[in-house]
Amino acid sequence: MSDKVISSWTFGAFIKRLLVLMCLSWATQIYAKALVVGVEDIEYFPIYAKRGGQYAGFARDFLDAFALRYGHAMTYKPMPIKRLYGEFLNGRVDLKFPDDKNWASDKKAGKGVVYSAGVLEYIDGVMVAPGELSKGENSLKILGTVRGFTPWDYMDQISSGSMKIKENSDLKGLMSLIQAERINGVYFNVVVARYFLKHTLFNKNAIVFDSTLPHSRNHYYVSTIRHGDVVDQINEFLETEAALVSSLKDKYEVRL
């Protein structure tokens, strides 16, 4: 093959690759979106929390990595849980994280909410003082929760009046209540509680998860009403970037 033919072939291949890259860039620009993500304004680190006024934690790194992959611009809008539902259902935020089809299902009815595949597995359950472990539901007269957090596993007991709820703004406040014996247990995310105890001055075994009591094991999802295509991209990202997502779970110690 002559140098002239090789040069012509090389130039043609270069032009073809350049056109492919330009098309990919053009497609990314078309489908890239400016998205407002509604998130919970609670201290739930390492999964999510505000640090220095900014949304931070596993959720932030995961969503930022996803946005970078698809060219989206994310704006995070932390809000109290009850207000967040209103903003989401009224279309004032594009995505919500975390979410679950069982949460506020009555309010979501008929809204056409779409959910991603599971982003992060979790357990919500009752943490008790070690001496109260395995004493059964009858020992739970007053259950502590973070303000706005719904203890789904105990709604029947709460409705019947056999169990009372005492809310606090964060886990530190709930720890003070359980140490003062003003509550019998804390209904909380097990991973968040474990991280909190490990990285604060509290004894890491000050409260322990009682797996014999009713608890929920599920995944956190990203939800949307208007951007089903973005949810499709999130599902693709979870599959193709599984190694990256796994590394983020290790970084933030959020594995069960």
163-185 pLDDT per residue, tens = 999 999 888 899 999 989 999 99
* CA dist., res. 125 & res. 66, Å (int): 30
Residues belonging to the chain: 256
* CA dist., res. 79 & res. 217, Å (int): 25
* CA dist., res. 54 & res. 69, Å (int): 21
Give the DSSP H or E segment for 221: strand 216-224
Do 19 and 60 have their domain in common?
no
The answer to whether the beta carbons of residues 100 and 218 sit under 8 Å apart is: yes
> Nearest CA to 39 among 27, 28, 31, 47?
47
The answer to whether the beta carbons of residues 128 and 185 sit under 8 Å apart is: yes
What mean pLDDT is reported for the chain? 89
The domain tally of the chain equals 3
* CA dist., res. 170 & res. 49, Å (int): 11
> Nearest CA to 236 among 121, 66, 95?
66
| 47-56 mean pLDDT | 95
The pair of structure tokens assigned to 163 is 């169990």
Structural domain range at position 212: 122-217
Do 80 and 130 have their domain in common?
no
Do 113 and 126 have their domain in common?
no
- The string of pLDDT tens digits covering residues 145-165 is 988 788 989 999 999 999 999
The answer to whether the beta carbons of residues 64 and 237 sit under 8 Å apart is: no
Rg (CA), the chain: 23
* CA dist., res. 243 & res. 54, Å (int): 26
In sequence order, the β-bridge partners of residue 218 are 122
Do 93 and 155 have their domain in common?
no
Do 41 and 91 have their domain in common?
yes
* CA dist., res. 123 & res. 169, Å (int): 20
Do 98 and 224 have their domain in common?
yes
- The string of pLDDT tens digits covering residues 104-156 is 899 999 999 999 999 999 999 999 999 999 999 999 999 999 887 889 899 99
